[in-house]
Amino acid sequence: MDWMAWTWPTAAFFGIIACTLIVFTILAIKFPETPRIGILRIETTRGDRLFITLLGSAFINLAWLGLVGANQPYALILCLIYAAAVFRWV
């Protein structure tokens, strides 16, 4: 795996994404939900909101790198606030 230049932050990122998908799969099995309509006026489920959160967080981090620089912990805080808003209102 030397060709990929894996680092601990990269491995942790993909590990957390995998764990999140496992948890959401278990939640879907144990507690099925019906889609709800939020502020976007589209039907969304937990999985849809997770996808919107991951996609938006990627754009937040890219914008942060382009505008502010490599001080990413503050971007993570912004992503967590964004995720809470998506899961609450979307």
**pTM score:** 0.83
Structural domain range at position 63 = 36-90
* Residue 15 and residue 55 in one domain: no
* Residue 52 and residue 40 in one domain: yes
Contact status, residue 21 vs residue 46, Cβ threshold 8 Å = no
* Residue 8 and residue 47 in one domain: no
* Residue 28 and residue 41 in one domain: no
Q: Please tell me the total count of domains within the chain.
A: 2
> For 38-90, how does the pLDDT look when each residue is reduced to its tens digit (9 = 90+)?
998 999 999 999 999 999 999 999 999 999 988 888 999 999 999 999 999 99
3-state secondary structure the chain: CHHHCCCHHHHHHHHHHHHHHHHHHHHHHHCCCCCEECCCCCEECHHHHHHHHHHHHHHHHHHHHHHCCCCCHHHHHHHHHHHHHHHHHC
